[in-house]
Amino acid sequence: MSRFRVAVHIVPRKGILDPQGKAVSDALHSLGFDGVTDTRIGRHIVLHIAAPDAKAADAQVREMCGKLLANPVTEDFEIATVEAA
C-alpha cells in the first residue's frame, strides 16, 4: 500500500442555476473582466488515502464521488490531481 493525496473538484452541473457563480460573474464583469462567460462555484476536497497504486486511488475516489462526495443529480466532479504523499 502506498499513500496518495487526491484532490477533487465538484461543481454544479451545466444547466443547473448557480446563483453564487452568477453573482461572481457579474462582479467580475463590473471589474472589467469582460471575457468571463461563466463561473461555477463548488467544492474542493483533498483526500489522503492508502491504495496499491495511483490508478486504484483514482478509482476509489471516483466511487466515493458517486456515492457521497458529489450529488449525481446536480453536480459533476473531476479528479484534479493524484499525487504520492
Partner 1 sequence: MKFGIVTFPGSNCDYDSYHAVADVLGLPAVYLWHKSTDLEGVDVVVLPGGFSYGDYLRAGAIARFSPIMKEVAAHARAGGPVLGICNGFQIACEAGLLPGALLRNEKLQFVSDRVYMRVENADTMFTSRCETGDVLRIPVAHGDGRFTADEETLDRLEGEGRVIFRYVNADGVPDATSNPNGAMRDIAGIISAEGNVLGLMPHPERAMEELVGSADGRRIFESLLARVSA
Do 18 and 38 touch, CB atoms closer than 8 A? Answer: no
User: Cβ of residue 69: shortest distance to partner 1, in angstroms?
Assistant: 7
Here the cell at position 79 is: 479528479
Phi and psi, residue 53, nearest 5°: -155, 175
Tell me if 27 contacts partner 1 by CB under 8 A.
no
Q: Which residues within the stretch 44-63 sit at the binding site for partner 1 (CB under 8 A)? A: none
Contact between 3 and 56 (Cβ < 8 Å): no
Of the candidate spans 18-26, 29-37, 48-56, 77-85, the one that interacts with partner 1 by CB under 8 A turns out to be: 18-26
Which residues here bind partner 1, judged by CB under 8 A?
A: 12, 16-17, 19-20, 23, 43, 68-69, 71, 73-74
